[in-house]
Amino acid sequence: MKYNRFLLCLIFITPAYVYALDGGVNSLRQTGKAFAEVARTVSPSVVFIQVESSLSEPKTPLLPTPFGGEWPFGDDLFKRFFGDQLPGLPRSPAPRQRRHSVGQGSGFVFMSKGGLLSNKTYILTNNHVVEHAEKIQVKFQNGHEFDAKITGTDPKSDVAVIEIKAGELPALPLGNSAELEVGEWVVAIGNPFGLSHTLTVGVVSAKGRTGIGISDYEDFIQTDAAINPGNSGGPLVNLDGQAIGINTAIFSRSGGYMGVGFAIPINLVKSIAQQLVDHGEVTRGYIGVVIQALTPELAKSFNIEQSQGILIAEVTEDSPAEKAGLQQGDVIIAYRNEKVTNVGDLRNRIALTEPGKRESLSILRNGKHKILNITIGKLSKDKLTTLSSTQSSDELGLTVQTMTSQLAEQFGIKEDKGVVVTKVEFGSIAASAGIHLGSLILQVDRQPINNVEDFQRAVKKSRADKQILLLVRDGNNQRYIVLSW
């Protein structure tokens, strides 16, 4: 009897299991069909880009040898032992030779223009793909090849537009990268290692990645869709077949795919691309401030309850920011009535604002909200201190000295105020915070520092709290640093 009940259970369970298995397979089939449809839709707009260039490099002629030919171990070994006085070694700089180079990358059509006299198709790619190009050739999936020329490049964002003399070619629709969510499926299409029109699939791993060091203006989409050398310039697309980014770089210890790739969001690209088509260059807005993230430690030092916002570390003299009334220590919490999320976000939004426009900034100053109107300026290429005593601070792990003309010359400092760091203890909190030899300390707890006596008094005053706020200048940049011990 028990045996029969067991068989009866098997009879009822087995069909349900088969149905679940079949349903899962069907779901996977539908997902695969979706990716296949994206590939069919997008691939005709994606191009393989081949770039030819020649670079100048020193030509090192081999020395005549007693053996009637080349030195058996090359020039370098004999230079190491005999120096440049070895007979036969050229005394003048070696002549330079041109080295021919062939590079490759990807791109995609985003605009076509037809006219009575000519047709043009514009292709988006990375600046680093076509930089130094002497000849550019693009190849479509159907085998058609065209010679291309550069329409305009923008090294600061790593975006470039090239053009070909052809019309009615399929343009890839541009999506809205602001609507993209972490976890969404994305597809990367390009020519990794020269393998034409390769498709890889993944998800959006993160958004708003800045500080990567790839370009000046960063707001990257991070994805685990495989991106490899040759993918640069190709589109990152959503399941609707819309370009939501330009594949640009990978994080890798081997030079190949390791699960971390970066794409420039298409919303950042749109404005840049249009300016490159219309004018061949990009004009950016600027307000003239040095900004940094408002950390919880900095917020506490400034008596600010919230930790969201961007801290102004410096206001440039006679800049739009100064004219609008912005001050050092102000915290920007909104631009154009929209909250700012990070330094890169604010910087990009200001840069993409048309110079001459009047916009609003919401700030916190001494805990109070203020709204200032600012006229955006145009960013130009050039915008991007007797005997002294020393003071050592064991808590901070550094030694400072009052600024002198000799120290200013030694460390290349133009300021005639503040104290210069002349020693940093290895492993100290100062070293961990990025303070180094030659750093200039201008303020301690928001009070100006003119000499080591000022510095000593300020540090002594902060010992009870075991926390100190410094305004530090390194080169042309300055920032606030909170040290705790």
Q: Which residues contact 132 (CB under 8 A, 6 or more apart)?
A: 53, 55
Among 221, 244, 279, which residue terminates a domain? 279
Among 117, 136, 164, which residue terminates a domain? 164
Residue written as token pair 């706020």: 469
State the Cα–Cα distance between residues 375 and 321, nearest whole angstrom: 8
Structure tokens at 81: 């032992």
Shared-domain flag, residues 194 and 109: no
Active-site choice (158, 219, 330, 454): 158
Position 7 scores a pLDDT of: 46
State the Cα–Cα distance between residues 360 and 381, nearest whole angstrom: 25
State the Cα–Cα distance between residues 119 and 95, nearest whole angstrom: 45
Q: Domain with 203 in it: what CATH number?
A: 2.40.10.10
Shared-domain flag, residues 271 and 297: no
pLDDT (tens digit per residue) in 82-110? 344 444 444 444 455 566 678 889 999 99
Q: Is residue 474 part of a domain?
A: yes
Residue of 432, 437, 430, 461 lying closest to 447 (CA atoms): 461
Position 151 scores a pLDDT of: 96
Q: Is residue 183 part of a domain?
A: yes
Report phi then psi at 348, rounded to 5.
-65, -40
Active-site choice (157, 232, 301, 393): 232
Tell me the residue range of the domain where 410 lies.
390-484
State the Cα–Cα distance between residues 178 and 180, nearest whole angstrom: 5
Three-class DSSP labels, 339-361: ECCCHHHHHHHHHCCCCCCEEEE
Shared-domain flag, residues 256 and 210: yes
Position 391 scores a pLDDT of: 56
Q: Is residue 78 part of a domain?
A: no
State the Cα–Cα distance between residues 62 and 279, nearest whole angstrom: 49
158 is catalytic: yes
Active-site choice (43, 45, 106, 128): 128
232 is catalytic: yes
**Alpha-carbon separation of residue 151 from 136, 154, 381, 434 (angstroms):** 12, 11, 20, 41
Q: Is residue 220 part of a domain?
A: yes
Among 221, 246, 279, which residue terminates a domain? 279
Q: Which residues of the chain have pLDDT under 70?
A: 1-23, 55-100, 115-117, 211-213, 253-255, 307, 381-394, 405-406, 410
Secondary structure class of 407 (helix, strand, coil) = helix
Q: Domain with 361 in it: what CATH number?
A: 2.30.42.10
Residue of 426, 421, 430 lying closest to 482 (CA atoms): 430
Q: Which residues contact 12 (CB under 8 A, 6 or more apart)?
A: none
